[in-house]
Amino acid sequence: MNATDQTGKDGARGHSPATLSEAAEQPIARDPRLQAAWIGARLCGPAFTVQGCGGDNLALHHAVLAAPAGSVLVVDVGGARHGHWGEVLAVAAQHRGIAGLLIDGGVRDRDELRDLRFPVFSRRNSVVGTRKHYHGQLGIPVRVGGVVISTGDLIVGDADGAVAIPAAEIDRVLDAADGRIEQERDFMNRLRAGVTTFELYQLPGA
């Protein structure tokens, strides 16, 4: 499946990052400190990667112009504490159809991002200002949240955190997630019928 077909709310077949992480059976979860900037934010779309520089957000301005509609910007700024993204860039990104932002660094204007309904996942919120000198590099592999992400990988995020599924693994992971959901439905039905979790999982010590 082409990663560009993964955009929109159904791009992950409705699966949560937690389900996808369990189904992948490989490290795809980002650092749990990368969290939604506002309650209810959700990410889903193919990554467009950005190698920036901590304390400088010029690369993000270039990325907004270059990224295809439906993309999630995935940005490495080294976890820097500055507010690299805010209301101005969010409005510009929405106008160009960008689906959201996953950044290993700080952002600002959390209330405005919430009001815009523009999904942002970041390491922190920050009012510390930035420069605009470093053009950055676009479309190259970047390390965000402790894992290398490439353009085209599928990004999915919700209140529990975010995952990045390698492009070559998208079909396999989504199919495995479908299977897990069926299994979980069966588990829930059995629990409601009185089966205990010890019986369900064959746990020791019951």
Helix (H) or strand (E) holding 183: helix 170-192
Cα–Cα distance for residue pair 118/115, rounded to 1 Å: 8
pLDDT in tens, the chain (206 residues): 333 344 445 678 889 999 999 888 887 877 889 999 999 999 999 999 999 999 999 999 999 999 999 999 999 999 999 999 999 999 999 999 999 999 999 999 999 999 999 999 999 999 999 999 999 999 999 999 999 999 999 999 999 999 999 999 999 999 999 998 988 899 999 999 999 999 988 899 76
DSSP labels for 64-80?
HHHSPTT-EEEEE-TT-
Cα–Cα distance for residue pair 163/134, rounded to 1 Å: 28
What residue numbers bound the domain in which 150 lies?
3-184
Is 194 a domain residue? Answer: no
Is 25 a domain residue? Answer: yes
> Residue holding tokens 């690369």?
59
Domain count, the chain: 1
Is 70 a domain residue? Answer: yes
Q: For residue 179, give the CATH number of its domain.
A: 3.50.30.40
Q: Which residues make Cβ contacts (< 8 Å) with residue 186, sequence separation at least 6?
A: none
Is 190 a domain residue? Answer: no
